[in-house]
Chains A and B, each alone.
Chain A
Amino acid sequence: MSSTATGLEAVRTFETSWRALQVRKRWLTLGYGLLFAAVFAASAWVGEFNLVKLFQGLPRIHEYVAKTLPVLTLDNLWGDLSEWFYGLPKWLMLLWETILIAYIATLLGTLGALALCFHAARNLSRGGTSYWIARRVFEVARTIPELVFALVFVFAFGIGPLAGILAIAIHSMGGSGKLFAEAVENIDMKPVDGLRATGANWVQTIRFAVLPQVLPNFTSFSLWRFEINVRSASIIGFVGAGGIGQEFYTAISRLYYEDISALIILMVCTVILIDMVCERVRHRLIGKEGFA
């Protein structure tokens, strides 16, 4: 009978420790929940956020949005639409400029990232200094928002698209650079060793052992970056750095209500269209599973 007794003993030990574990887990959940609630409450206080303000604000948002929408009548639909989109030729030109800004900025940013990413990859960097510098450059470039760069560049290069291009280029160099360096860190090192053994110099090693491995990834990242940069290029106009943003800012501040909705529709359509095209190309490049 002693074996049953020890069996019961074991079950009892299991149950007590399981219960203790449950209690501990519950306390932990409660503790983290309270911590989260406290942080949220503190944030609400610092962020001057409360429900009263929110519910006072909501009707005003509705009012504002209603004002931006034009009156469309069924009998004169075409006339109403053409009145709503009266600035279409000009706006399309500005959208084209926005896309071009994003394009050239992506190109410059990618070239910058390409030049530095091999230094910023732990498996290829040749020394502590160049690694450190490349990493810090990428960090600063991607942490400072493009709009802040644009503010400074507008001062240095004058108002216009050039300031915006350089601002987006620098910011996207930081963003792409980080991804590029990570891709380089994940390569197969055998070709690198092979080329080094044949006496290839650093540039040759990069060109023939590293680049063929990472090029599809780099292209895909750059296309993705282009999508982001189209969005950025549509807002840098707020500080006078070119693109459709300038027009939007004017519409908002001069209360051209119907222009606001028309411009938003155009911007959304452009962004969605570009996303769709880029996604197609990206999937063709590295397969559907490779990149979410």
Chain B
Amino acid sequence: MTLRISGIDAAAIARARAISPGAFSQPLRERIPALAAGALFVGLTVYCIVLFEMSPVRLWAGFGKLLEVVGHMFPPTAKGAALDYAYAMLQTVAMALIGTVIAAVLAVPLGFACARNMVPGWIVRFVFRRSSDVMRGVDQLVWALIFVRAVGLGPLAGILAIIIADTGTLAKLYSEAIENIDRKPVEGLRASGASPVQTMRFGVIPQVLPIMLSNILYIFESNTRSATILGIVGAGGIGFFLADRIRTMLWEEACFIMLMILGTVYVIDWFSKRLRAKITGGTDAPTVIH
């Protein structure tokens, strides 16, 4: 096939444009929403830059100071407190583990209560869903701050914060898994005269358990990261040391702690990834709104 382009000149293009203008450019009316969105986007950004005084001078000065700080961070040293830091890091991981396990258990009844195919009445479901929304709508650190006031400084406040926030998150993930089960095994069991408990045990649990376990591991990974900051408000773990060393400008020690966090998170991620692949047979991590 040969393409004849010799016949096309400016007049031909103009004729074609008159016949079907849509092929050359979108009419203005259809472009208005996109243009408006773009204008809003740019306007909001400019407004933010002005509001937050993000002037180049200020940024330049700040980055200069930041570079200085980073310079002070090397070489990272523990100054003889390495064991204290290691213990605090271990406590952080322990808090994440306990919090995740307890939340995983507490979220089971809540998850079932939030699932559309398990609870008939919408009022019950609405109440349980909104309470799980509140649990995970408030950040873990806010819960930690409240629990520090209520039960005092220490890891207990942090563990409680993890439990509350992640019971909400896991309940949502569980209920989604439960809502997505295949109905056929359940119906088959019912048809063969199984009791509700038996239906649950042999029809529902085998389908949702691997997903639940995978979610739990994912939350555990996420918690080892987020638990590192609980100490900043006094809720136990490495965060206390880190915040203290930064506030007193002991940069070398702060850097040592940050590297320790990086290493620990790396090891836990690696371990959890392998375990998760084993449980789910290699399917990917769930996306968690956290």
Contacts and interface: CB of A to CB of B under 8 A. Distances in A.
A162 B53 contact: yes
A148 B242 contact: yes
A46 B229 contact: no
A248 B233 CA distance: 13
The winner among A46, A64, A232, A249 for most chain B CB atoms within 10 A is: A46
Contacts, number: 173
Contacts of A144: 258, 261-262
Interface stretch (B12-20, B146-154, B187-195, B201-209): B146-154
A227 interface: yes
Contact of A39 (B97, B138, B146): B97
Interface stretch (B28-36, B62-70, B113-121): B62-70
Contact of B155 (A48, A56, A165, A234): A48
A43 B58 contact: no
Given A148-B246, A152-B246, A155-B246, A100 B98 contact: no
Interface in A64-100: 64-65, 97, 100
Interface residues of A, number: 65
A103 B98 contact: no
Interface in B4-55: 44-45, 47-49, 51-54
A161 B159 contact: no
B274 interface: no
Contacts of A65: 150
B98 A47 contact: yes
A153 interface: yes
Interface residues of B, number: 65
For the residues of A in contact with B, the DSSP-based class is helix
A291 B137 CA distance: 20
Contact of B150 (A63, A139, A271): A63
Interface string B209-235: 000000000000000011011001100
The 9 tightest CB contacts between A and B, nearest first, are A43-B94, A157-B62, A57-B151, A64-B150, A47-B94, A268-B137, A156-B66, A46-B94, A104-B48
16 contacts: A44-B94, A47-B91, A47-B236, A48-B155, A49-B95, A63-B150, A139-B262, A151-B246, A152-B69, A156-B66, A157-B62, A160-B52, A162-B58, A228-B290, A231-B290, A268-B134
